[in-house]
């Protein structure tokens, strides 16, 4: 286990370093003279890396303020949305994954889940907005207009109504990834001969499911934590735009449109780091839960 | 004594085959609709005032009209055509730069292979939508198709790379190498048995991925403006009034979802699986 | 009648049908307490149906007829679900993983024992430990605290046996329980099982597809084919003579002393020459052998490398073929010193080597039947499909696969078919050396007989030298004239196999011979 964790930690460190270098290369495009050839670009890149070593992320070309300040203003909203969406993903995804993992229940639920998976996030978000507007009579900020704020810990009904739709849209995207991981884990264990053999040796179904199947299935979910986080971040990018919330994903879209590469690079780095870190944590926890041991070799 | 060696197909395998067939038939139907869109649509694209403004679905206008009086049925057909025509080249880019490149990259010298895997792995950790927007921002809107294809490629690359790597480590590959079968023969073997047999499902998978990216990018206002509006742009335009006139967004959204659904079924993707 | 000889199991006209297929057809038999019954047959003989029924895991789709009487209970319709008045314990084999790979062997087996006794798990673990300690020659209990994936088949088998015995069975149903073991391991485990059977007095029903374990157990045998009993009797009596043709073919697979091949009189050119070889991997810190290994293998000859797992025979084989580096010495293959060759040239030389192995995944499962056989000629000589078709069809005919559709995918073939396909591929490649590694592993007795004939035919027709790697002296005896016996990374005895079988000098050699062939007749 220690050897595995160290190896994964090394992979994470290399991944973060790589992401940092790529982000720095993108930020260097915003440096003066960067567009004038390879050497000026390399000098710009080196300069950005030097600034990063001093924890200086540079300045935003849009606002003139520091990149740290812009991230501080916008990132918490996105992280909050993703965090709350993650909870929804677990609350919805885990029961779907277990209940509809196999058999007739799965066959019955399959078409609905396929259709929901096929709808792009913005379509799903607009559909949710329509249902909330017409069935629940909630005010829905999807039209044109100023970007609004969002209370992630709502205290009033209006704040709850404003927060629920984007969180739900993001959560459902995460739930799709979570239930897939669980179903795959369940399908893998269904095929294993030890399930039958342990019962033949005298264990009850409950013994086998509780002691061996559930940990394996949960391990499958944990191993896919990176995928779940990536699905949440992808959904957040679209949802902020649809519901007009000024989060980091919305800032990214603006920064690309206005060629503010420092901001774009910083946000991309944060998103990549979140995904890679979630993957690392997930695979380590999965290994703790279900360490298979070394496989035999033909030698 | 003669014996049949094939096993009975499992029930899930039968269901999977049926779903794939449904997917391919759906895609074929869409292909027919796209090629005949000019014929099937009652008016050319973007024909304003073809009918009353924001009229609901009726006998005369089966899918209603939008805020400029455009016939929604005609607009949806033209929009579907624009979306598919933009998605096809992007699909090819994703297939070649993703699946094929990943497959071949696994056979390169070890250091090069793992460096490529590392860099592209980092790219696959970023939402592909944001990658596409970035590439469009770095180039121009006219390159949105290429950007969508390249943005969908990292995930396909990583999948193909890991699959090819797993093949290298199998016992049969070891025995083949021990018996003097060359690396080129093994690569050819994998190309025949792995890649060509999965190329259709790989293409369908790429189609689903690039359609989602292109339509979202279009919705966000980043895509090139084709001669006619595509489905993403139509839905974005309807955003301001769809709460009162549901048909202006619902039918383009339905067409888009069906295209993606059929592509996913044809690719054999599981429910919730990312394209 | 004493308690020990009262019937524990009586089956009357037992039949099992599933999906319209009759798996078991009116089987009647009796088993007394303390007695052993060996059920011998291939995978479609009906053994599975019998085990399912007796073990209490009949499936919903099984249509069951006949009656069953367990212990002192009433005779009942076999289709009725009933609480068994006797303790029936199931003992699985290790060919299909019987345990979850993520938990330790001991914890899972302790849970099984605890469930049987309806006791806490700690108590189950203690019972397991005591049962293991009672058996002679077992590994330490700590060996079971590892995950099943890192334990050898014999360690798992000891653990499973201890768990079964810890449950104090009245009837023990062993489902090919020792099939994955070498003859020596088999002998040790069977001896322990029989000692416990004598002590506890349980009845044993052992389902087998090969004769290896049956030859050690030596109880009453019933031979099943297509759900019917075609022959039955005591093992020793059947080994002496069989009345049914199928049984005769099964017993041809039984290795007997005196079956060894005579020494070759015709001597071909040297194919493989080894000089002063220290075949330990470089960096091995073990004691250096005093003299390196020197021997030669001539064209058309056959040499068996015999030893248990970890004895060094595979290390030598891999060193000889240039698959792994070695510490010192020289290997000359087809008059070329392997150490001076580049990797590319070594690969070219290895094209004349065919592998026939007992590993099921040695062939690419994605390839078709025809492509698997064609590949050596097409890949090495660049010949087209049409040009190789004749060779391919001849090879498939010789191994009995000609009636199969050429597009059949390897993944759908049975184990025996895959094994025969390897032979067909070897025929087509016209090798100068065939490396044969446990070729009979996992095959039923019928298939083992056929496989031996096919290998013999390959050698006679194509004339390659054979390098056989095995732990079974019976396999070596059938295929090779010369042998080397290995233990702890060293060659302990070598020479003409016929002579060694008559008079083994080393203790390990004697042990391996007795495990495979019974007591040595001097």
Q: Which of C421, C364, C412, C366 has the alpha carbon at shortest distance from C392?
A: C421
Question: Which residues are CB-contacts of B260 (< 8 A; sequence separation ≥ 6)?
Answer: A118, A119, A120, B208, B211, B212, B275
Interface A:B, Cβ pairs < 8 A: 143
Whether residues A253 and B133 touch (CB distance < 8 A) is answered with yes
Helices within B36-143 (DSSP H only): 37-40, 72-94, 101-105, 110-124, 128-138
B206 min Cα distance to partner chain A (Å): 13
Quick check: is A23 in a domain? no
Quick check: is A55 in a domain? no
Instruction: State how many domains chain A has.
Output: 1
Query: Is the model's pLDDT at B6 over the cut of 60?
Result: no
Average confidence score pLDDT of chain B: 87
Q: DSSP labels for B135-197?
A: HHHHS-GGGHHHHHHHHHHHHHHHHHHHHHHHHHTSHHHHHHHHTT--HHHHHHHHIIIIIHH
Indicate the DSSP class of residue B113.
H
Indicate the DSSP class of residue C262.
P
Q: What is the predicted pLDDT for the residue at A299?
A: 26
Is residue B140 less than 8 Å (CB to CB) from chain C? no
Residues C467, C297 contacting (CB under 8 angstroms): yes
CB-CB neighbours of B156 under 10 Å: 27
The string of pLDDT tens digits covering residues B244-254 is 999 999 999 99
Residue A87's domain comprises 65-289
Token code pair at residue B186: 């093994």
Whether residues B239 and A259 touch (CB distance < 8 A) is answered with no
The string of pLDDT tens digits covering residues C243-262 is 888 888 888 887 777 777 77
CB-CB neighbours of C246 under 10 Å: 18
The string of pLDDT tens digits covering residues B151-163 is 999 999 999 999 8
Report chain C residues whose CB lies below 8 A from the CB of A204.
115
Helices within A29-156 (DSSP H only): 38-53, 67-99, 103-118, 121-135
Query: Average pLDDT of B52-63?
Result: 90
Is residue A140 less than 8 Å (CB to CB) from chain B? yes
Q: Which of B275, B265, B167, B162 has the alpha carbon at shortest distance from B216?
A: B275
Question: pLDDT confidence of B96, banded at 50, 70, 90?
Answer: very high
Token code pair at residue B27: 């895609």
How is domain B14-40+62-267 classified at the CATH fold level? MetI-like fold (1.10.3720)
B230 min Cα distance to partner chain A (Å): 14
Token pair 């209990």 in the structure block, residue? C141
Query: Which parts of chain C register pLDDT below 70?
Result: 1-5, 263-266, 289-290, 519-522
Per-domain boundaries in chain B:
14-40+62-267
Q: Which of A29, A125, A20 has the alpha carbon at shortest distance from B134?
A: A29
Q: What is the predicted pLDDT for the residue at C14?
A: 92
Average confidence score pLDDT of chain A: 84
Residues C13, C65 contacting (CB under 8 angstroms): yes
- Closest CB to B125 among A256, A257, A272: A272
B272 min Cα distance to partner chain A (Å): 5
Whether residues C362 and B178 touch (CB distance < 8 A) is answered with no
Token pair 């495990």 in the structure block, residue? C515
Question: Which residues are CB-contacts of C112 (< 8 A; sequence separation ≥ 6)?
Answer: A198, A201, A202, A203, C124, C163, C167
Question: Which residues are CB-contacts of C258 (< 8 A; sequence separation ≥ 6)?
Answer: C521
Query: Is the model's pLDDT at B169 over the cut of 90?
Result: no
Quick check: is A20 in a domain? no
**Collapsed DSSP state (helix, strand, coil) of residue A224:** coil
Query: Is the model's pLDDT at B1 over the cut of 80?
Result: no
- Per the confidence metrics, is the pTM higher than 0.90? no
Whether residues C57 and A193 touch (CB distance < 8 A) is answered with no
Q: What is the predicted pLDDT for the residue at A1?
A: 82
Indicate the DSSP class of residue C350.
G
Report chain B residues whose CB lies below 8 A from the CB of A180.
270-273
- Closest CB to B216 among A110, A122, A276: A122
Quick check: is A7 in a domain? no
Report chain A residues whose CB lies below 8 A from the CB of C108.
198
Q: What is the predicted pLDDT for the residue at C521?
A: 44
Whether residues A120 and B215 touch (CB distance < 8 A) is answered with yes
Indicate the DSSP class of residue C409.
B
Q: Which of A86, A85, A63 has the alpha carbon at shortest distance from A73?
A: A63
Is residue B196 less than 8 Å (CB to CB) from chain C? no
Which residue in C225, C364, C450 has the most chain B C-beta atoms within 10 A of its own C-beta, making it the best mutation to test that interface?
C364
Q: DSSP labels for C270-330?
A: EEEEEEEEE-SPTT--SPPPSS-EEEEEETT-EEEEE--TTSSHHHHHHHHTTSS--SEEE
CATH number for the domain that contains residue A187? 1.10.3720.10
Question: Which residues are CB-contacts of B200 (< 8 A; sequence separation ≥ 6)?
Answer: B266
Q: HEC profile for C161-221?
A: HHHHHHCCCCEEEEECCCCCCCHHHHHHHHHHHHHHHHHHCCEEEEEECCCHHHHHHCCEE
Chain A residues within 8 Å of chain C (Cβ atoms): 192-194, 196-204, 207, 211-212, 215-216, 219, 289-296, 298-299
B167 min Cα distance to partner chain C (Å): 10
Quick check: is A45 in a domain? no
Is residue C95 less than 8 Å (CB to CB) from chain A? no
Interface A:C, Cβ pairs < 8 A: 74
Is residue A126 less than 8 Å (CB to CB) from chain B? yes
CB-CB neighbours of C217 under 10 Å: 24
More confidently predicted of A141 and C95 = C95
Q: What is the predicted pLDDT for the residue at C134?
A: 94
Question: pLDDT confidence of B5, banded at 50, 70, 90?
Answer: very low
Q: What is the predicted pLDDT for the residue at A148?
A: 57
Going along chain C from its start, the domains and CATH numbers come out as 1-86+213-252 (3.40.50.300), 299-312+351-517 (3.40.50.300)
Residues B140, B143: Cα–Cα separation, whole Å = 6
Helix (H) or strand (E) run with residue C354 in it:
strand C353-357
Q: Which of C27, C419, C468 has the alpha carbon at shortest distance from C230?
A: C27
Whether residues C353 and B5 touch (CB distance < 8 A) is answered with no
Q: What is the predicted pLDDT for the residue at C278?
A: 87
Q: What is the predicted pLDDT for the residue at C379?
A: 80
Query: Is the model's pLDDT at A121 over the cut of 60?
Result: yes
**Collapsed DSSP state (helix, strand, coil) of residue C171:** strand
Beta strands, E only, C393-510: 433-437, 465-470, 482-487, 490-496
Whether residues C355 and B182 touch (CB distance < 8 A) is answered with no
Q: What is the predicted pLDDT for the residue at A189?
A: 86
CA-based radius of gyration for chain C: 25
Is residue B178 less than 8 Å (CB to CB) from chain C? yes
Indicate the DSSP class of residue A147.
-
From the number of C-beta atoms within 10 Å of its C-beta (0-12, 13-18, 19+), residue B201 rates as middle
From the number of C-beta atoms within 10 Å of its C-beta (0-12, 13-18, 19+), residue C17 rates as middle
Whether residues B242 and A130 touch (CB distance < 8 A) is answered with yes
First-to-last C-alpha distance (Å) of chain A: 24
């Amino acid at each position: 286990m220690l050897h595995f964790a160290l190896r994964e930690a090394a992979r994470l460190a290399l991944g973060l370093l790589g992401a940092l270098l790529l982000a720095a290369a993108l930020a260097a495009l915003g440096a003066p003279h960067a567009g004038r050839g390879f050497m000026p670009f390399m000098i710009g890149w080196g300069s950005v890396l030097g600034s990063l070593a001093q924890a200086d992320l540079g300045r935003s070309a849009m606002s003139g303020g520091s990149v740290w300040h812009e991230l501080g203003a916008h990132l918490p909203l996105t992280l909050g949305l993703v965090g709350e969406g993650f909870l929804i993903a677990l609350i919805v995804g885990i029961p779907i994954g277990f209940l509809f993992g196999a058999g007739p229940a799965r066959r019955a639920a399959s078409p609905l889940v396929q259709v929901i998976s096929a709808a792009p996030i913005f379509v799903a978000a607009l559909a949710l907005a329509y249902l909330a507007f017409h069935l629940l009579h909630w005010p829905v900020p999807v039209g044109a207009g100023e970007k609004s704020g969002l209370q992630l810990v709502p205290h009033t009904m209006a704040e709850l109504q404003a927060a629920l739709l984007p969180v739900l849209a993001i959560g459902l995207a995460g739930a799709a990834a979570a239930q897939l991981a669980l179903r795959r884990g369940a399908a893998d264990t269904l095929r294993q001969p030890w399930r039958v053999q342990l019962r033949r040796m005298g264990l009850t179904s409950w013994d086998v499911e509780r002691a061996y199947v559930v940990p394996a299935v949960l391990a499958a979910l944990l191993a896919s934590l990176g995928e779940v986080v990536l699905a949440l971040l992808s959904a957040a990018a679209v949802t902020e735009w649809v519901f007009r919330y000024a989060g980091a994903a919305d800032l990214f879209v603006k920064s690309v449109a206005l060629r503010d590469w420092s901001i774009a690079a910083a946000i991309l780095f944060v998103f990549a780091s979140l995904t890679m870190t979630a993957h690392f944590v997930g695979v380590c926890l999965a290994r703790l839960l279900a360490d298979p041991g070394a496989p035999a070799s033909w030698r | 004594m003669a014996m049949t060696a094939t096993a009975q197909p499992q029930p899930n395998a039968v269901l999977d085959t049926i779903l794939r067939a449904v997917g391919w038939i759906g895609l074929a139907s869409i292909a027919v609709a796209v090629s005949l869109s000019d014929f099937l649509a009652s008016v050319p694209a973007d024909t304003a005032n073809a009918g009353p403004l924001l009229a609901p679905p009726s006998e005369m206008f089966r899918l209603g009209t939008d805020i400029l009086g455009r016939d929604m049925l005609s607009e949806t057909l033209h929009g579907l055509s624009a979306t598919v025509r933009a998605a096809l080249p992007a699909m090819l880019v994703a297939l070649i730069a993703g699946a094929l490149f990943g497959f071949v990259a696994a056979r390169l010298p070890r250091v090069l292979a793992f460096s490529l895997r590392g860099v592209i792995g980092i790219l696959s950790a970023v939402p592909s939508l944001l990658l596409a927007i970035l590439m469009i921002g770095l180039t121009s809107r006219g390159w949105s198709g290429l950007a969508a294809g390249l943005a969908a490629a990292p995930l396909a690359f990583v999948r193909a790379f890991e699959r090819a790597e797993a093949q290298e480590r199998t016992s049969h590959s070891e025995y083949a190498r021990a018996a003097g079968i060359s690396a080129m023969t093994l690569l050819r073997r994998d190309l025949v048995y792995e890649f060509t047999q999965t190329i259709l499902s790989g293409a369908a998978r790429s189609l689903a991925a690039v359609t989602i990216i292109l339509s979202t990018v279009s919705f966000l206002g980043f895509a090139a403006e084709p001669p006619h509006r595509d489905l993403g742009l139509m839905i974005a335009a309807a955003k301001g009034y769809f709460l009162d006139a549901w048909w202006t967004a619902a039918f383009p959204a339905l067409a888009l979802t069906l295209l993606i659904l059929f592509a996913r079924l044809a690719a054999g993707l599981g429910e919730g699986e990312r394209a | 009648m004493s308690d020990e000889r009262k019937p524990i199991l009586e089956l009357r006209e037992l039949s099992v049908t599933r999906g319209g297929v009759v798996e078991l057809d009116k089987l009647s038999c009796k088993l007394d307490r303390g007695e052993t019954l060996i059920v011998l047959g291939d995978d479609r003989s009906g053994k599975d149906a019998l085990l399912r029924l007796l073990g209490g895991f009949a499936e919903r789709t099984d249509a069951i007829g006949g009656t069953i009487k367990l212990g002192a209970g009433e005779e009942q319709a076999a289709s009725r679900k009933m609480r068994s008045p006797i303790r029936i314990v199931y003992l699985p084999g290790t060919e299909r993983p019987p345990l979850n790979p993520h938990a330790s062997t001991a914890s899972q087996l302790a849970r099984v024992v605890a469930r049987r006794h309806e006791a806490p798990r700690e108590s189950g673990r203690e019972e397991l430990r005591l049962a293991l300690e009672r058996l002679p020659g077992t590994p330490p209990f700590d060996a079971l605290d590892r995950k099943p994936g890192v334990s050898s088949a014999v360690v798992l088998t000891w653990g499973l046996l201890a768990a079964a015995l810890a449950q104090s069975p009245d009837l023990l149903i062993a489902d090919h329980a020792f099939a994955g073991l070498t003859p020596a391991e088999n002998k040790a485990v069977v001896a322990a099982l029989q000692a416990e059977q004598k002590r506890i007095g349980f009845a044993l029903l052992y389902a087998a597809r090969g004769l290896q374990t049956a030859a050690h157990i030596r109880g009453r045998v019933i031979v099943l084919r297509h759900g019917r009993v075609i022959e039955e009797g005591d093992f020793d009596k059947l080994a002496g003579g069989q009345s049914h043709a199928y049984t005769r073919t099964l017993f041809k697979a039984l290795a007997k002393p005196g079956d060894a091949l005579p020494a070759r009189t015709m001597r071909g050119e040297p194919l493989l020459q080894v000089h002063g070889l220290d075949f330990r991997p470089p960096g091995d810190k073990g004691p250096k052998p005093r003299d390196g290994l020197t021997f030669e293998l001539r064209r058309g000859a056959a040499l068996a490398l015999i030893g248990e797992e970890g004895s060094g025979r595979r290390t030598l084989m891999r060193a000889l073929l240039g698959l792994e580096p070695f510490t010192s010495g020289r290997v000359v293959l087809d008059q070329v010193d392997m150490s001076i060759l580049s990797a590319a040239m070594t690969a070219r030389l290895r094209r004349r080597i065919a592998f026939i192995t007992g590993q099921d995944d040695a062939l690419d499962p994605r390839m078709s039947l025809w492509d698997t056989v064609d590949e050596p000629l097409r890949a090495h000589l660049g010949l087209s499909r049409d040009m190789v078709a004749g060779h391919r069809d001849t090879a498939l005919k010789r191994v009995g696969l000609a009636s199969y559709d050429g597009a059949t995918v390897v993944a759908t073939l049975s184990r025996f078919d895959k094994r025969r396909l390897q032979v067909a591929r070897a025929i087509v490649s016209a090798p100068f050396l065939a490396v044969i590694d446990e070729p009979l592993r996992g095959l039923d007795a019928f298939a083992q007989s056929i496989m031996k004939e096919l290998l013999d035919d390959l050698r006679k027709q194509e004339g390659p030298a054979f390098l056989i790697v095995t732990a079974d002296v019976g396999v070596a005896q059938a295929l090779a004239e010369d042998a080397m016996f290995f233990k702890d990374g060293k060659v302990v005895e070598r020479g003409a196999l016929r002579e060694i079988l008559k008079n083994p000098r080393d203790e390990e050699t004697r042990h391996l011979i007795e495990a495979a062939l019974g007591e040595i007749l001097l």
